[in-house]
Chains A and B, each alone.
Chain A
């Protein structure tokens, strides 16, 4: 199923920026859509963004559209999330997740990173 390891989280002030990274291993990274899912403290799961395996397609939740940018480097097996104009409500554990199948459609996730905490606070 693969291994995923997030990095780059931390404390940032409202209005600030942060870049998350996710290092992928033990699967053919370039063949799979990849996503970010977040979880605010004590809350449920919220899908944030997804990127197609060939980078051409990126989709965002309305809550982050225009502020967050998902990207990937298939040569380095790395997924990234650039987060700008951060708000208090962006405070969450951010997970990177691998789509379960190479085939189009059915965007469920069979492998997740351990998560990285992003805290937006003054």
Chain B
């Protein structure tokens, strides 16, 4: 099983600032990685797939990068609606696995 590790667990950021979230895979997943955003009481929402492709309707301030075992989700300038929990997911092999999440909170 591929273990996905996200860091930090919590990120405190002021609105307008840049946020950088990390996701590490225990073995290479090539570019088979997705990022999701989840707000309290809501279902996850797909942000990024194939490591760097924005999903339909996702704002340009969200960007993904990386390949192999190291991945980054960057939010260039945080807006109030971006405070949420973010999960990465590898889709390289079974079982599909998610990271433990990074909570982005208001500083």
Contacts and interface: CB of A to CB of B under 8 A. Distances in A.
B82 interface: no
Interface residues of B, number: 24
Contact of A45 (B42, B44, B91, B94): B44
A99 B42 CA distance: 19
Nearest to B100: A44
Contact of B91 (A106, A114, A115): A106
B91 A108 contact: yes
Contacts of A105: 32, 91
A70 interface: no
A63 B50 CA distance: 27
B84 interface: no
Interface in A55-89: 59, 61-62
B50 A106 contact: yes
Given A47-B98, A59-B94, A106-B32, A100 B89 contact: no
Nearest to A108: B34
A107 B91 contact: yes
A29 interface: no
Interface of B: 32, 34, 36, 38, 42-46, 49-50, 55-56, 87, 89, 91, 94-101
